[in-house]
Structure 1
């Protein structure tokens, strides 16, 4: 048990014992003629604490008992079966003969106390707490002036309360799904982050997650290696019209990186956030081959909105077109113009169609851990 809680409980019990004892001792030394009139008794069942008739109510038994002996007290601490404190439990003391009862709430150290109880009455004590079975004592008969401290108040956890159901928010589920998607790599190497293999249970991404995913893809070492490889291919093909040598390779590396970065950022984060669309490819995996083929081929033109409905893929098409238009700002003068914009746009769209086909029919078998990711994302 925590030592600070044990100390606090000890202090609480000691104070509860000391105060009634002092009050009883003081009454012995004060002449009865100087004692003020006792206040009218309070109804035990009334929430408004209204005075009741002292001559007829059983609730006045403790005061009547004072004529022949001191009133008694009951206190204790509410614990579970493991010995842990249960603060906030409701404790009820009942006189079964009259039906009168009093309630108390266990404090932060799970302690409770009842004072001014009538001697000779067979009281029952009941403890109730959320998630626990009710606990009821046997008859407790007190003698005049007795202070009974109960040590056996231990309540059991309900069987149905032994398991806990955790409800996560949509944002938390989306974050977990993105975390799992960031582990998807073809052959364990090539990033495959923008594919959802469990489309049925996928939730929409927040703006923050859309930018996070775009940044993750664009800064991945394999993506950077791919940019370097494409720049080498362009160097060998002498396109665009930069010089050869290290300077020309650096320029080609720069334009390939800029093309990729603007396409990912605009088409994968900015426009999807503004238009409330999902930039990911949702793997179908079932149905006829023709239906899966149509799903893959139309993926550049049809997307899923954040509302779960199919929509024209303005984000993807707009991202390709915007990235192509921006390339006019850094390509050599001889390569700029309308042909560069729409030529690059057409190539980008064709690449997306080919990518959809590969995602639907080829890449899943080379992407390990998909079954585990589906299970963990739920």
Structure 2
């Protein structure tokens, strides 16, 4: 099932996150095996009257690099809107730094989005954004840290004094294309695909049929999807799951069956049925509200989805994709493992895995997805 692959990658992500946190905690603990310093053996020394803070600032620790010299690039991005929250595509965005060489200019795309990659850490930058019919918007100085993805929020252009309204025309298809391009950059821990989640739910637009198939295809051929299928096949092999033979031949058959499950599920549940039923296959991150409301939102994901008309609907696409994928697996599973029990058993398992994955998505994975941390 597609969600077996998703569930496996989610589990690995959370495990690595928790392991990393535990490692940091261990590194911060004092080493009890080392003898304590004998403070009494060191005579007291009279220090100069100069403030300690000044000494700290002027004398960096040996081997440490100041932020200005850190070679790790940073990104500065944002979305241009007006006071009503409507997107302002085509706005001119000027980035200025400490020297004329730092100056860059670009136009916001059809989604009002701009991005300046590869900036220097520690350099104060300032943005000036202008658009026809609006007053210029100027940011306060922005100083970035190494490797940071900084999202500029509250870029809201005010109407010029002599203008009562401005009509901005933009293609919904172009906006959807730009949003999908951003979503296809979302990777947990920088490498695990996290394409099927919308973090900026308020500004999301419906996907075209072409984009639904594009996203499904990208997930199906992603190396991590192939690796996930290989990992799950190994687990099935170790547990002698399904009545395939052991050895290399059995592992190959398990891998083929697992990968076929994922491909049929993503194509039917993520592209074919959503296109026919005009439903959106993505998870729309809530991120605000009480823990109870967010938990309810995540647990309802297998059963309720957003339609292309923006309204909530029964999630026929996802449930139908799981059911169709389970039915097709009767073609290539061993004869002794086929039947209605396989179909409905896999459907229940996939639904449960989807609920767990949605809860982890709502509460954990945004922090592990670098390109999504600063999305509104």
TM bucket by the smaller chain?
A: 0.5 to 0.7
Give the TM-score normalised by structure 1.
Answer: 0.55
Which of 307, 320, 323 pairs up with 2:309?
A: 307
Question: Which aligned pairs between 1:25-174 and structure 2 lie closer than 5 A?
Answer: 167-174=169-176
Deviation at 1:273, TM superposition (A): 0.2
Residue 328 (1) aligns with residue 333 (2): no
Q: Distance in 1 between matches of 2:266 and 2:290?
A: 31
Among 279, 282, 285, the residue aligned to 1:280: 282
What's 1:5 paired with?
none
Contact kept, 8 Å, 2:187 with 2:371, in 1: the verdict is no
User: Cα distance, 1:246 vs. partner?
Assistant: 0.9
* Residue of structure 1 in register with 2:87 after alignment: none
Which residues in structure 2 correspond to 1:346-365 (within 5 Å)? 346-365=348-367
Local SS of the residue matching 2:286: coil
**What SS does the corresponding residue of 1:311 show, helix, strand or coil?**
strand
CA 1:203–1:254 in 2, change beyond 3 Å: closer, same or farther? Answer: same
- Matching residue within 189, 194, 216 for 1:214: 216
Q: Is the 8 A contact 2:212 2:271 kept in 1?
A: yes
Residue by residue over 1:202-259, the C-alpha shift from the partner in whole angstroms, topping out at 9 and shown as x without a partner, is 0000000000000011111111100111111111111211111111111000000110
> 1:316 maps to which residue?
318
Contact 2:216–2:271 (CA under 8 A) maintained in structure 1: yes
Say which of 232, 254, 260 aligns to 1:258.
Answer: 260
Q: For residue 178 of structure 2, what is the aligned residue in structure 1? A: 176
2:339 aligns to what?
A: 337
Higher relative contact order (CA 8 A, sep 6+): 2
Cα distance per residue 1:281-338 (max 9 Å; x no partner) = 0000011111100000010000000000000000000001111111111100010011
SS at match of 2:266: helix
Aligned to 1:223: 225
- Contact 2:199 2:372 survives alignment (8 Å): yes
Distance 2:338 2:374 in 1: 47
8 Å contact 2:237–2:254 — kept in the other structure? yes
The whole-number CA distance in structure 1 between the counterparts of 2:208 and 2:362 is: 25
**Partner of 1:294 in structure 2?**
296
Q: 1:188 aligns with which of 182, 187, 190?
A: 190
| Inter-partner Cα distance in structure 1 for 2:169 and 2:191 | 34
SS of the residue corresponding to residue 313 of structure 2 reads strand
SS at match of 1:303: strand
Q: Does 1:244 align with 2:246?
A: yes
CA distance in 2, matches of 1:368, 1:173: 22
| Alignment partners' CA distance in 2, 1:214 and 1:208 | 10
CA distance in 2 between counterparts of 1:211 and 1:338 reads 29
Contact 2:213 2:267 (C-alpha < 8 Å) held by counterparts: yes
Deviation track 1:338-359 (CA, whole Å, cap 9, x = no partner) reads 1100111000000100011011
Structure 2 residues without counterparts, runs of 5 or longer: 1-132, 134-161
> Normalising by the residue count of structure 2, what TM-score does the alignment of the two structures yield?
0.55
- Shift in alpha-carbon separation, 1:283–1:356, aligned structure 2, 3 A: same
Q: Deviations over 1:159-200 (max 9, x none)?
A: x99xx9974300000000000000101111111000000100
Q: Considering only aligned residues, what root-mean-square deviation do their CA atoms show, in Å?
A: 2.0
Deviation at 1:369, TM superposition (A): 2.0
Q: Which has the larger radius of gyration?
A: 1
Matched residue count: 215
Alpha carbons 1:180, 1:373 under 8 Å: kept: no
C-alpha separation between the residues in 1 aligned to 2:347 and 2:303? 13
What's the CA shift string for 1:79-118, capped at 9, x where partnerless? xxxxxxxxxxxxxxxxxxxxxxxxxxxxxxxxxxxxxxxx
* Residue 253 of structure 2 is aligned to residue 271 of structure 1: no
- Aligned-residue offset at 1:373: 4.9
